[in-house]
Amino acid sequence: MNHASGAHGIRIADYWLHEEVPGCSIEIAYRASHRLLPRLARVAILNPACIGVRHAALKLMREACVLESLRHSGVPRVFECGVLERRPWVASEHITGVSIEAAAAERPLAIGDALAVLRDAAAILAHAHDRRVVHRRITPGSVVRTGERGFAVCITGWGDAAIDDSAAPLADDPGARFYRAPELADGERGRAPADVFALGAVMFEAATLVLPDPVQRFPGVPAGFHHLLAGMLARSPDDRPTAHAVRAEAGRLAELHCEGDAGIEEVEVELVDISRSQIARPGLGWMPPDLPGPSPRALGSVRRRRDTPP
């Protein structure tokens, strides 16, 4: 790293480094600005603890190759990469927006918003699957609504993607296992249906504030939306719709919702939180409420149709 005047006085190639931003264990990531171009970037450089660890360096560069090969406005762009003092680094698009995790932190997403996010995220996955790329680690934090970009949704975190059925085993991630398809929990490397399952789990939670164990019917979630999510969450990969089919159906339901097909109001009810703070049962993405864990707590509101009796 070069030391000079500027943001914190630290530069990697043509990028001034600013504050540190979240990254995986093998990297240190920063928000950065180009010294000449009006460009913000996310610069990730190999963690010093991983110098000489070949698989860590390969993983960092592999994600850059995946993003470059996808070339979709719903994934971050790669600007450039290099090696500095035996540490690979990658400068990619700095994604600004609100993750689904943050958007649904206290209240469920509006049904129209949830359908639009599902439609757009499925379109990104369909594009990737057509190119034999499987994300494998879709979580509420990796699906970001980005109002200032050309595409309304961006999917981040492609470091564990499988390419042409080739992938390293997934490391345990407490934040991701709640959305992991059963076949991944059982040791499979990952195919396209695993992404469909994970996206279904993310959107079910965003629309209801609870994880789908079991895939229960919630008041206020339109029947068509619930049916689509239930299909995405089928335990057998062969029973799930493709990402293309999810995009088409979510788009159709979004249009119906905009036309007023399903009137919605909000009512206060008690929901049981079975989400991130609890321990997952082996082979299952989340923990059923009859196993030991934190006490249930009340969660906000849920929706029901106006014509549905309380």
Residues 6+ apart with CB under 8 A from 227: none
Helix axes 192-208, 111-130, angle to 10 degrees: 170
- Cα–chain center distance at 147: 17
Quote the pLDDT of residue 99: 95
What's the pTM? 0.78
The reported pLDDT for the residue numbered 163 is: 86
What percent of the chain shows pLDDT beyond 90? 55
- Residue with more model confidence, 57 or 212: 57
If you classify domain 7-93 with CATH, what class do you get? alpha beta
Q: Which pLDDT belongs to residue 272?
A: 44
pLDDT of 81 reads: 93
Reduce the DSSP state of residue 302 to 3 states and report it.
Answer: strand
Q: Where are the domains of the chain?
A: 7-93, 98-305
Q: For 100-154, what is each residue's pLDDT tens digit? A: 999 999 899 999 999 999 999 999 999 999 999 999 999 999 999 997 777 899 9
CB 278 within 8 A of CB 287: yes
Residues 4-30: tens digit of each pLDDT? 433 466 899 999 999 999 888 889 999
Q: What does the pLDDT average to over 215-223?
A: 81
With H, G, I as helix, E, B as strand and everything else as coil, classify residue 16: strand
- Which is more confident, 192 or 211? 192
Cα Rg, the chain, nearest whole Å: 20
Nearest to 111 by CA among 258, 283, 297: 258
DSSP per-residue letters across 76-121: PPEEEEEEETTEEEEEEE---SEEHHHHTSSSPPPHHHHHHHHHHH
What pLDDT is stored for residue 212 in this prediction? 81
* CA end-to-end span of the chain: 62
The three-state secondary structure class of 22 is coil
Q: Specify the CATH class of 98-305 in words.
A: mainly alpha
Q: Name the band, by pLDDT with cuts 50, 70 and 90, for residue 59.
A: confident
What is the arithmetic mean of pLDDT over 259-279?
45
pLDDT in tens, 289-310: 333 333 333 334 444 333 344 4
Unique residue bearing structure tokens 């509006």: 110
With cut-offs at 50, 70 and 90, classify the pLDDT of residue 169.
Answer: low
Which letter does DSSP use for residue 177 in this model?
A: G
CA–CA gap between residue 59 and residue 168 (Å, rounded)? 9
The predicted structure's pLDDT at residue 259: 63
